[in-house]
Amino acid sequence: MVKILIEVRFHGRGGQGAVTAADLLAVAGFKEGYYTLSFPMFGAEKRGTPVVSFLRISDEPIVARDEVYNPDYVVVLDPTVMETVNVVSGLKRGGMLIANYPKSSEDLKKKVKADELGIKVATINATKMAMEVLGRPITNTAMVGAFGGATRLISLETLVEVVKEWFKGELAEKNAKLVEEAYRYMMEVCRNED
Amino acid sequence: MKKVVRGFYSVAYSVKLCRPNVICAYPITPQTEIVENLAAMYANGELGEAEYITAESEFGAASILVGASAAGARVFTATCSQGLILMSEVLFNAAGMRLPIVLVNTNRALSAPLSIWNDHQDSMAMRDAGIMQVYVENNQEAHDMIPQAYKVAENKKVLLPFMVCMDGYKLTHAYEPVDLLEQEMVDSFLPPYEPAAYMTTKKPLAFGCYAPPHIYMEFRVAMQQAMERAKDVMLDVFKEWAEVSGRDWGGHITVDFPDSKIFVVAMGSVVGLLRKVVEELRNEGLSVGLIKIRTFRPFPVEEMREALKDAEKVIVLDRSVSFGYEGPVSIELKSAIYGYSSAEIYSFAVGLGGRDMPKDFLAKIIRDVGEGKEKPGFAFKGYQEFEEVIP
């Protein structure tokens, strides 16, 4: 079997669900047959303060519980976090920054010096999407979808299933819709990149 | 059934399967979701006849459990850090009263300065209480340890409190796959609690009362004897668990690569990563093995003597400090192997207050010892050089 270990770091702000995003993907990854581990880097969480969480996906049991220093993917839930946090720190060459960002991938590429770092960048306006579907700027499920669409590691069907188990009632339906929209959008963005 | 769950839930669900009669706790980070989950189960009627009591403090919670346990109830609580040391006055009593209380400590640093993050300073403060202490490596082991804790604690040869120590955040907050136990399996493994003695309004008893000099010491000798018997009872219970669950977590310690010249000794959630590091260093040609301490109390004295008899160097990674001396695990280990091993002991305090222990950091410590770059003795590792300014 091919040895896979994919490490992901999430950046967001308290209240946007960066921790839940990693957790949802841990549940979804396991459903697809991977071993998974997600955990937050806890600080003094308050709404609005920068929050970091981690995800590991592997085809063998995961024993490493140290923080992720050299992620394969960085997922950013809030564009303003990038003003104060160097989100691409340690991101592997060939790795990808998947960001909620109101402008184009090209714009963010320049900003983070993507070519110098040898990283890929894919952006999605998740805040706008979340406002339209949820009426609130909570971007975690959109970014879960975006991660799925960008990486194709986890199928859309599994992500929708997990989101519907996680949330209840109308919120489940809305978040499932958001996941699907973001997944399809990001799949398209990354297809154009290649 | 294997499911991705949070560490909290792996504990709460296992507690539920043990059919406790009284659960009493006071919330503290990073224990809170364990008791939140149990409170939700209670509210949903999933805990049968159990009473769930939210106390006004950890001192109150422990006191309520002492009463409940003395009345013959199977009881549970969880706490950590300041909560555990606030409980300590009561817990020393619980041990002396020989009450088989099971508690989970979600290991967290002690104040001051205030830290909500993980190390082992809190449970180490309870070292001499007469409470059994087992440290777990992952959430499956935490899940599996709860029924075993009750079975050991309630054994009439033992009758002492049992503390399951799991690293706060690193385990409690992690989502990972856990094979959740079945009720029938736990029921057949763990029979209902039959207290050796319990008080009722019809048959009042007194626990832990006044013992003048002519009798006190005998009670304390009995506690030590109970701890010594607990070592064997644990081995029986661990073995039975391996048979019925199919998961063998080993005895009081586990030893990887027993013929090594160098050994790393550690407890808790860092063990998994250390296993990987040790394997990689062996591939580099370093003769290094790993000892995971599961049972800190009673301390695995004979096991350590046997495992380290031919060792040349022993690296102890402590997650706490006995200020003015060194790390408690190191102190215990040296004392245990004195006269049985001529190994040099390298005692390092690491990962205090949640300081992360990356793979490269761990590898460097071991490699440096292997290459003779470290001196035996005590040192802190993984801190920034600083100058203390006292105005």
Question: Is B2-245 CATH 3.20.20.60?
Answer: no
**Mean pLDDT taken over chain B:** 97
pLDDT band at A42 (very low <50, low <70, confident <90, very high): confident
Is residue A193's pLDDT more than 90? no
Crossing angle for the helix pair B81-96 and B213-245, nearest 10 degrees? Answer: 110
Token pair for A141: 């499920």
Among residues A82, A77, A102, which one has the least CA distance to residue A25?
A: A77
Report the residue of chain B nearest A57, measured CA to CA.
B176
Residue for token digits 């991938």?
A: A105
Whether A94 and A123 have beta carbons less than 8 Å apart is answered as no
Question: B230 — alpha (psi -120 to 50), left (phi > 0) or beta?
Answer: alpha
Contacts of A103 (CB under 8 A, 6+ apart): A123
Among residues B132, B134, B122, which one has the least CA distance to residue B100?
A: B132
Whether B120 and B84 have beta carbons less than 8 Å apart is answered as no
Q: Give the Cα separation of A186 and B101 in Å (integer).
A: 53
Is residue A1's pLDDT more than 50? no
* Amino acid A49: pLDDT: 86
Q: Which CATH class is domain B253-380?
A: alpha beta
Whether A55 and A22 have beta carbons less than 8 Å apart is answered as yes
CATH superfamily of the A5-193 domain: Pyruvate-ferredoxin oxidoreductase, PFOR, domain III (3.40.920.10)
Residue for token digits 């950046």?
A: A11
Q: What are phi and psi of A26, to 5 degrees?
A: -65, -45
How crowded is residue B371: how many other Cβ atoms within 10 Å of its Cβ? 9
Q: Give the Cα separation of B253 and A92 in Å (integer).
A: 38
* Amino acid A44: pLDDT: 61
Token pair for B156: 């009439």
Say what the ipTM of the complex is. 0.94
Token pair for A167: 């949330």
How far away is chain A from the Cα of B279, in angstroms, using its nearest Cα?
13
Indicate yes or no: CB of B170 within 8 angstroms of CB of A36: no
Tell me the pLDDT tens digit for each residue of B140-163. 999 999 999 999 999 999 999 999
Among residues B79, B87, B83, which one has the least CA distance to residue B111?
A: B83
pLDDT band at B91 (very low <50, low <70, confident <90, very high): very high
Q: Which of B171, B176, B358 sits opposite A66 (nearest CB)?
A: B358
Q: Give the Cα separation of B372 and B76 in Å (integer).
A: 47
pTM of the model: 0.97
Site from A39, A41, A58, A166 to mutate, B interface, most B CB atoms within 10 angstroms: A39
* Amino acid A149: pLDDT: 97
Amino acid present at B138 = N
Is residue A2's pLDDT more than 60? no
How far away is chain A from the Cα of B62, in angstroms, using its nearest Cα?
28
Chain A hits for B30, Cβ within 8 Å:
42
Tell me the pLDDT tens digit for each residue of B204-247. 999 998 999 999 999 999 999 999 999 999 999 999 999 999 99
% of chain B surpassing 90 pLDDT: 99
How far away is chain B from the Cα of A28, in angstroms, using its nearest Cα?
9
- CATH 3.40.50.970 occupies which residues in chain B? 2-245
Q: Give the Cα separation of B184 and B175 in Å (integer).
A: 25
How far, rounded to the nearest angstrom, does the alpha carbon of residue B239 sit from its chain's CA centroid?
18
Chain A hits for B3, Cβ within 8 Å:
30
Q: What are phi and psi of A78, to 5 degrees?
A: -140, 120
- CATH 3.40.50.920 occupies which residues in chain B? 253-380
Token pair for B181: 């136990």
Handedness of CA B237, B243, B247, B253 (dihedral sign): positive
Higher pLDDT, A2 or B387: B387
Tell me the pLDDT tens digit for each residue of A104-145. 999 999 999 999 999 999 999 999 999 999 999 999 999 999
pLDDT band at A43 (very low <50, low <70, confident <90, very high): low
Q: Which of B170, B174, B273 sits opposite A38 (nearest CB)?
A: B174
pLDDT band at A46 (very low <50, low <70, confident <90, very high): confident
Tell me the pLDDT tens digit for each residue of B49-63. 999 999 999 999 999
Chain B hits for A23, Cβ within 8 Å:
6, 175
Tell me the pLDDT tens digit for each residue of B286-329. 999 999 999 999 999 999 999 999 999 999 999 999 999 999 99
HEC profile of chain A: CCCCEEEEEEEEECCCCHHHHHHHHHHHHHHCCCEEEEEEECCCCCCCCEEEEEEEEECCCCCCCCCCCCCCEEEECCCCHHHHCCCCCCCCCCCEEEEECCCCHHHHHHHCCHHHHCCEEEEECHHHHHHHHCCCCCCHHHHHHHHHHHHCCCCHHHHHHHHHHHCCHHHHHHHHHHHHHHHHHHHHHHHHHC
Handedness of CA B270, B273, B275, B278 (dihedral sign): negative
HEC profile of chain B: CEEEEEHHHHHHHHHHHCCCCEEEECCCCCCHHHHHHHHHHHHCCCCCCCEEEECCCHHHHHHHHHHHHHCCCCEEEEECHHHHHHHHHHHHHHHHCCCCCEEEEEECCCCCCCCCCCCCHHHHCCCCCCCEEEECCCHHHHHHHHHHHHHHHHCCCCCCCEEEEEECCCCCCCEEEEECCCHHHHHHHCCCCCCCCCCCCCCCCCCCCCCCHHHHHHHHHHHHHHHHHHHHHHHHHHHHHHHHHCCCCCCCEEEECCCCCEEEEECCCCHHHHHHHHHHHHHCCCCEEEEEECEEECCCHHHHHHHCCCCCEEEEEECCCCCCCCCHHHHHHHHHHCCCCCCEEEEEECCHHHCCCCHHHHHHHHHHHHCCCCCCEEEECCCCCCCCCCC
Contacts of A142 (CB under 8 A, 6+ apart): A100, A124, A126, A129, A130, A178, A179, A181, A182
Q: Nearest-5° angle of CA B131, CA B132, CA B133?
A: 110
Is residue B275's pLDDT more than 70? yes
**Interfacial residues of B (vs A; Cβ cutoff 8 Å):** 3-4, 6, 30, 116-117, 138, 169-171, 173-177, 269-270, 272-273, 275-276, 356-359
Could you give the dihedral angle defined by the CA atoms of residues A112, A116, A122 and A127, in that order, rounded to the nearest 10 degrees? 0
Average pLDDT for B108-134 = 98
Residue burial A23-34, b: 16+ Cβ < 10 Å; e: rest: bbbbbbbbbeeb
Indicate yes or no: CB of A65 within 8 angstroms of CB of B170: yes
